[in-house]
Amino acid sequence: MRDVLYLEEMSQAETLLKPQRIEVLRQLAEPGTCTEVAARLGQTPQRVYYHVKQLVAAGLAEQVSERKVRGISEGIYQAAARSYWLSPRLVGRIGGLRRARDELSLGHLLDLMEEVQADVAALDRAAPELPSIGVSGEIRVPAERRQEFLADLRAALEDLFTRYGGAEGDAFKLAVACYPKGEDRD
């Protein structure tokens, strides 16, 4: 079972985004038969089997083994991942075409976050080492120094790109997001 399955196909999203299928998928966090899942959900095995087949066809669940019960083969299924990420491309943006990629626009920030999400989802979680870093913090800048702050941030990043931007060595992608902080969230 993968940690994360990144969904980029509309058919996968349509299959997943049905409350009953989400419940079946939750039950399949551990391998189980349709009969076992049906008993836990208070549904008929046939109904659960229908949903499991849809999940398997979409690549959201998989048959991991099979057993014989009174001469009948019964599949044992499991969810394909612990969590599922829905690509923002599937939802789209309200308001038609995307705005120009002005690096000071919120549209550009959304594009960047979408790109980071896709890149992280594509990482090989089975690799022995995934050198990465995530940093988050809050900086308070008076309005009259905002442009100075953004220029300093740009200069610091340009310095890193210049010093480490050679053609040799391991490639790392760097994404920095700076945006106004909204209301405090717990």
Cα angle at 115 between 111 and 120, to 5 degrees?
Answer: 150
* Residue 97 pLDDT: 42
**62 versus 179: which is more confidently predicted?**
62
**Is the confidence at residue 13, as pLDDT, over 70?**
yes
**10 versus 93: which is more confidently predicted?**
10
* pLDDT tens per residue, range 148-184: 998 898 888 888 888 887 777 777 887 777 777 776 6
**Is the confidence at residue 117, as pLDDT, over 80?**
no
* pLDDT tens per residue, range 31-40: 999 999 999 9
Q: Mean of the per-residue pLDDT values for the chain?
A: 82
Q: Report helix, strand or coil for 174.
A: coil
Segment (H or E) for 118: helix 106-121
* Residue 124 pLDDT: 73
Segment (H or E) for 115: helix 106-121
**Is the confidence at residue 103, as pLDDT, over 60?**
no
Spatial separation of the C-alpha atoms in residues 4 and 130, rounded to whole Å: 15
Percent with pLDDT over 70 in the chain = 87
Do residues 10 and 89 lie in contact, with contact meaning Cβ atoms separated by under 8 Å?
A: no
